[in-house]
Structure formats: structure tokens, C-alpha cells
Homo-oligomer: A and B are copies of this chain.
Amino acid sequence: MLNWLLLCVPVTLALEYLAPQQHLAIFIAAAIAIIPLAGWLGKATEQLAERSGEGVGGLLNATFGNATELIIAIAALRAGLHDVVKASLAGSIIGNILLVLGASMLCGGLRFKEQHFNSEGARAEASLLTLAAIALVLPAVYMMRAEEAPVLLGKVQYLSNAISVVLLLVYGLFLYYSLVTHKALFAGNRQEDSEAVDLWPMGKAIAILAVATALIAWVSEILVGAIEPSAKAFGLSNLFIGVFVVAILGNAAEHASAITAALKNRMDLALSISIGSSLQVALFVAPVLVLSSLIIGPEAMNLAFTSGLTLTMLLAVLITGQIAGDGRSDWLKGVQLLAVYLVFGMAFFFIPAIPAP
């Protein structure tokens, strides 16, 4: 039924070329169009992963799992909208651990009194998130200090590049850890979910992957171009749109998978999807964007998030570690994560549409 939403793809393209002033309509159509496209991209990735054997398959999932976010972010990067890129990265990180994991724990908890998952795997992911949050705090501190010591401003880019390399290295080692040396801690991961899935022919998977990617890239460019005027039309800040609207779009399909897994009492899978996606964005998508910006331009992007976003990520990671650390979940844990997400949403909602400090 998600496929009906695919109708928004031609609608978006038609609007963009026939009624380019209808920013709000374009934004909404493009936003909805991305949801089923992201779903198909995810399905095609899984199919390829399935056919590639466990190791390479895990790597494929880990690399292309957030392809939609990456494509949207590259579109915003090329448009020079660094603040939108950062807002959607931060939104994706906190959205996956608060909204997706929270909704999974709540829905699962409404059906089962108590659910369990491998606490060692969850702890490993939680401490990697803390590592990422710490790494993202430092460039933000540079920017805050730059008022007193303007020379720091020139150093933020060097620091961001260096941190990006470290994060990518850590991500590579984490993949080696979770796919090779300690895969038992991540039992119940995506591969095992495939019992009932019938395999596509290889060619079909590749074709769908290619088409979905191309369409997402096209629609993303249109979406990004409509963000600023639409934000004005809604009376919202770019920041709010980036953190809470753009970030949710590319993850919509994964939201559904995580909740479905929780309802089947497969919390390991639900955690792997939710926390795993946050990790991917923080340790892979963000550094890849920083390093690509050096090449594809138009100007280099650093890792300095606004202090508000930095604080938000740090606090989100803190409470996630506390809630996911003991290997059990129930409905109240879900409520807590959702409440934190709601509170953050309200805080960004009331920020008026001015350049974020």
C-alpha cells in the first residue's frame, strides 16, 4: 500500500516544472514521494545483501542502509545549505534512538510485559554513540570559543577533517567487530529476518536499486530547494524543518521495520535497526559528507553543529545508554524516549525562524 505513495513522484516532478512557485505543495509532495522510494531502496539493498553471503551482506546493509539520508544530505550540501545538512544529520541521530527506538519499545511493551535483548551488544552500540557525541562536541566548542580567539575559526575545518577520519576508522572496526569477531553479540540481526522473504533475481535487485537511487536523488534536489520557502510558509525555522521533518522522511521505512520487529518480540532486531541507524549516521554518513565536501564543494563543510544541536545529541545519547543498557524493555521505557523526543521537538518548535545562534 506504500506503493500508492509512489504517485507523488510524478506529482513532484510535474509541480516542480509546471508550478515552480508552489513551494509548499512541492515540499509536501517531494517529502511523501521519498518515503516509498526509500522503502524500495532498502528492500533492494536487503536483497543484494541476502545474496552476498553474511559478511559482505552485512557490509552492504551497513553502508547503504542510510543511503536516502546520504543522498538528501548531498543534495543540500551541493546547494550550500550546510545548516540543513547538519540539522538533518542531528535529527536522524536523535530520531532513530528516541522516536524509532521509543516507538518500538512502546509498541512491543504494549503486547509483551517485558522484552529482552542482548545487553552486551546494546552497550557496545550505546558507548559508540557516546564516542560519536563526544567527537561532535569538540568542533562545537571551537566555534563557541571562536568569539574570544578568532584564530580557532580557521582550525575548525582541520579538526573536523581529522575527527571524520577517526570516526570512519572506528566505524570500520565496529563493522569488523559486529560482523566478524563478535557477531554473537548481535544475534537476531537483519540477516536472520529473512526467513519469509522470497529472493529476487540479482538483475531485478540491481535495477530497482539503481532506479530508486536515481529517483531519490532527483526528488531530493527538488525537496531541498523547497525547504527554505516552505519553512517560511509554515512559520518554522530551517532548523526545525531539518531536524524534525527532513530527518524523519528518509527513515520512515525503517521506523516501520523496527516497530514490526518489536511487535514480533524480536527486540535485538529492533535495536539493531534503530541504534544501528543512528550509529551509521554519526560514524559513517556525517564524516563521509565532511570529507566529500572537500571534493565536491561548493565549500568545505565542518562538523561544528550549533550548540543547541550538540547538547541535544549528547543528552539523547545519555538517556539512551541508560535505558538500553540493561537488556530489557517495557512500555514505560518507550514512553520515556518518546517524551524526550517530544520535549526536544517543542524546544526547537518555539525557536523562531531566525538564524540559529
Q: Which residues of A contact B (CB under 8 A)?
A: 113, 119-120, 123-124, 126-128, 130-131, 134-135, 137-138, 141-142, 145, 148-149, 151-152, 155, 158-159, 162-163, 166, 169-170, 173-174, 177, 181-182, 308, 311, 315, 318-319, 321-323, 325-326, 328, 330-333, 335-336, 339-340, 342-344, 346-347, 350-352, 354, 357
Q: List 20 A-B contacts (CB under 8 A).
A: A120-B326, A123-B322, A124-B332, A127-B319, A127-B333, A130-B322, A131-B319, A131-B336, A135-B339, A137-B311, A138-B343, A149-B352, A159-B347, A162-B350, A163-B343, A169-B339, A177-B331, A181-B330, A182-B330, A321-B322
Minimum CB distance partner of A155 in chain B = B350
Cβ-closest 3 pairs across A and B: A155-B350, A138-B347, A177-B332
**Complex partner residue of A336 from B127, B151, B162, B352, CB under 8 angstroms:** B127
Chain A binding surface SS class: helix
Complex contact B335–A149 (CB within 8 A):
no
Which B residues touch A346, using CB under 8 A? 138, 159, 162-163, 166
Complex contact B181–A120 (CB within 8 A):
no
Which B residues touch A128, using CB under 8 A? 336
**Complex partner residue of A155 from B127, B319, B352, CB under 8 angstroms:** B352
Which B residues touch A152, using CB under 8 A? 350-352
Which B residues touch A126, using CB under 8 A? 322
Which B residues touch A137, using CB under 8 A? 311, 315
Docked CA distance A173–B123 (Å):
27
Complex contact A350–B158 (CB within 8 A):
yes
Complex contact A331–B181 (CB within 8 A):
yes
Docked CA distance A323–B137 (Å):
19
Which B residues touch A325, using CB under 8 A? 322, 325
A106 to chain B, nearest CB (A): 10
Complex contact B174–A332 (CB within 8 A):
yes
Complex contact B339–A131 (CB within 8 A):
yes
A240 to chain B, nearest CB (A): 13
Which B residues touch A148, using CB under 8 A? 357
Complex contact A173–B315 (CB within 8 A):
no
Complex contact B145–A357 (CB within 8 A):
yes
A311 to chain B, nearest CB (A): 7
**Complex partner residue of A319 from B130, B181, B319, B342, CB under 8 angstroms:** B130
Q: Given A138-B347, A166-B343, 18 more contacts at CB 8 Å?
A: A113-B181, A120-B326, A124-B333, A126-B322, A130-B318, A130-B322, A131-B319, A131-B340, A135-B340, A138-B344, A138-B346, A141-B311, A142-B350, A155-B350, A163-B343, A170-B336, A173-B332, A173-B335
Docked CA distance A317–B333 (Å):
17
